[in-house]
Amino acid sequence: MKNVIVINTNQEQKTINKNIYGHFAEHLGRCIYEGIWVGEDSPIPNTNGLRNDVLEALKQLHTPVLRWPGGCFADEYHWKDGIGPKEERKKMINTHWGGTVDTNEFGTHEFMQLCELIGAEPYINGNVGSGEVLEMQEWIEYLTASGEAPMAEERKRNGRSDPWSLTYFGVGNESWGCGGNMRPEYYADLYRRYQTYVRNYEENNIYKIACGPNVDDYNWTEVLMREAARYMDGLSLHYYTIPGTWENKGSSLEFTEEEWDTTMKKALKMDELITKHSTIMDKYDPEKRVGLIVDEWGTWYNVESGTNPGFLYQQNTIRDALVAGVTLNIFNHHADRVQMANIAQTVNVLQSVILTEGTKMMKTPTYHVFDMYKVHQGAEALKIQGTEKQTNVHVSASKNSNDVIQVTLCNLSSTESEDVQIDLRGCKEALTNVKGTILTAQEMNAHNTFDNPDQVRPRSFEKGRIEKDQLLANMPPMSVLLMEVS
């Protein structure tokens, strides 16, 4: 049976915030150290200590925003330990993630330079759990103040005369869990207090993000919105796709068809979560001024055997590509409320877009989905009808400033191909061109390795065609398809 989907090309809904395509890098395992930061003296080609291959790959993705330093690490991080001459920086133990020694070689200056080099906006997450208000206040001053402010003077002594521009700042991370095990009422009050001192210096204008709910903790959203909505610009949401249980999450590479289906079902839950949290937010913020910031999402499996359990290293297959495609489609549908999302995590941790091993680097299937979907960044979301009735096909669409219609489709079935008919309604001019790009594989666990880094990669798709404003295609099982129509 054909999947019939209607796209109203003249009913634009909302601009898709490019930050929906954001990333997250924590001091966790081999994400920052090794994955991004190798140090100036490393034989791995680098720019001031940041590895060039990773910089290039992130630039190519048009990475719009990067969240740092955590995660759970954020509420243990004391930023002053990460500035000044590297050899004098105090070491710390990363107690949450494997008890490793963090040399603090990668700190504020290194992060801000990373963002500059890849063209991303920085999103810094402050420490509420074990940090003081003054510490947070001074971090903002250090980053964004000029003139004779004491922290600005210190920044200048450390080699940076101009303030940076910083828009996104998170006040605590998972304050209901690793960030302090707080109750929402208590955190709401703390949020109100801490955010008071997150000041705007000169032209800088900070978008303040409060810690939001874990998965379906709707009470957290209710309390935070009721008590603190007027003091925030964004509220975060964390949701991970875990095929198994928390204790036994399942393997990244060895799984059954049933586990494939469960994974897809759990990925689709993101839609329900956003809808329900957003409905609560609507009660206090009908104008949708406060953005929902999904600043941690992605698949989470058991760590690869032989790797440090605290490092959360996992492989990445075509299954992860489908999870990414579906989730990004969902964010596009909710472009009116979701203003940012950050997949966890950029390199070597959970659903990474990049994996490294010594000098080697490779792009995962998830990377390729972000590369294909980047056309949606800043485009106008288009209204879709009919997809809800489809079981295997999941779609979102947008229109760019040149009136090109960009449709991204996922065939979630691991066994069935799917015929798709997309009725493109309301086009000003006849559509004649279609350019297709597909990511697919023959095996459910197809993935890239350092020896075979291009096993799963996008290819040109020639089988999409237009017949009288109908876009037609046959999608192979487990595929992500981009069609650009003009």
Q: Which parts of this chain interact with ligand AHR (CB under 6 A)?
A: 26, 70-72, 173-174, 296, 344-345, 350
Q: In angstroms, give the least distance from the CB of 200 to ligand AHR.
A: 27
Annotation marks residue 174 as catalytic:
yes
DSSP string, 28-84: STTTTBTTTB--TT-SS-EETTEEHHHHHHHHHTT--EEEES-SGGGGG--GGGGSS
Q: In angstroms, give the least distance from the CB of 69 to ligand AHR.
A: 10
SS3 of 305, please? coil
C-beta separation of 384 from 396 below 8 A? yes
Structure token digits, residue 302:
């058991």
Annotation marks residue 138 as catalytic:
no
Number of residue whose CB is nearest ligand AHR:
71
> Rounded CA gap, 54 and 35, in Å?
8
236/440 with CB nearer ligand AHR: 236
Q: In angstroms, give the least distance from the CB of 300 to ligand AHR.
A: 8
163/170 with CB nearer ligand AHR: 170
> Catalytic: which of 296, 304, 416, 467?
296
> Catalytic: which of 174, 304, 416, 484?
174
344/422 with CB nearer ligand AHR: 344
Running DSSP on this structure, what letter comes out for residue 153? H
Is the dihedral angle over the CA atoms 61, 68, 98, 55 positive or is it negative? positive
C-beta separation of 125 from 173 below 8 A? yes
Q: In angstroms, give the least distance from the CB of 249 to ligand AHR.
A: 12
Closest listed residue to residue 336, CA positions, set 270, 374, 286, 408: 286
26/121 with CB nearer ligand AHR: 26
Report the run of H or E that residue 441 belongs to, with start and end: none
237/405 with CB nearer ligand AHR: 237
C-beta separation of 198 from 167 below 8 A? no
Q: In angstroms, give the least distance from the CB of 210 to ligand AHR.
A: 15
Which residues are catalytically annotated? 174, 296
